[in-house]
Homo-oligomer: A and B are copies of this chain.
Amino acid sequence: MTAADTRRKLLDGAIDTVRAEGLAGTSARSIARTAGVNQALIFYHFDTVDALLAEAARRAAQERVEPYRARFATVTTLAELLAAGRALWAEEEARGNAAVLAQLLAGAQTSPALAEGTAAALGLWSAEVETVLRRVLPESPLAGLLDPVATAQAVSAAFAGLSLFGAIGATPDALGQLEALVALVDDLGPLERRLVARRLARMTDTPKRS
């Protein structure tokens, strides 16, 4: 077995262990068991457990973001973005990847190494959303109201938090609520659009936001 194989097994095993046991149940021993690899090899290849987890987070995000790229590229309206987001969320939630990211994000609070890897992983997701928002938002009446960067970050982080709900009850239909709100304003007729524009102008005259 080559070194690259071992590294790969460990990276996969690390994510699988967090998925199955949570971060609290994730140790060098439990990862090695899941990966089917000797425990000492973790330290040979990655120096520390946290460094392995950070690298695993980065790689996992890359591999999961990639298949959505083509789909996101075809999105031209905010409504389509929300539909794509709904599908993405359903898939990643079902696979437990959202929960994994949330666990690592929680662990990042006390581990600088983990913080760096998790930031990179979450950044890949929000960058993807941000790209689409930059393209789609200007066509919407909501342009100028929503900031692409802040919105993408907020949505990504909120979804990570939402996935933590799994253990304590049913996950609330957050996207459904958001979708309803956005769909109401977005995709309006010309007359309504002018009304919204007027209202927007009034709002930015007397801004309530910081």
Contacts and interface: CB of A to CB of B under 8 A. Distances in A.
B181 A157 contact: no
A164 interface: yes
A108 B184 contact: no
Contacts of A79: 208
A168 interface: yes
Interface stretch (A1-9, A37-45, A140-148): A140-148
B167 A162 contact: no
Contact of A154 (B153, B169, B174, B196): B174
What is the oligomeric copy number?
2
Interface in A50-108: 79, 83, 99, 102-103, 105-108
B195 A24 contact: no
17 contacts: A22-B107, A22-B109, A24-B24, A24-B111, A105-B161, A109-B166, A115-B168, A145-B181, A149-B172, A160-B164, A161-B164, A173-B210, A176-B210, A181-B185, A184-B200, A184-B203, A191-B195
A8 B176 CA distance: 41
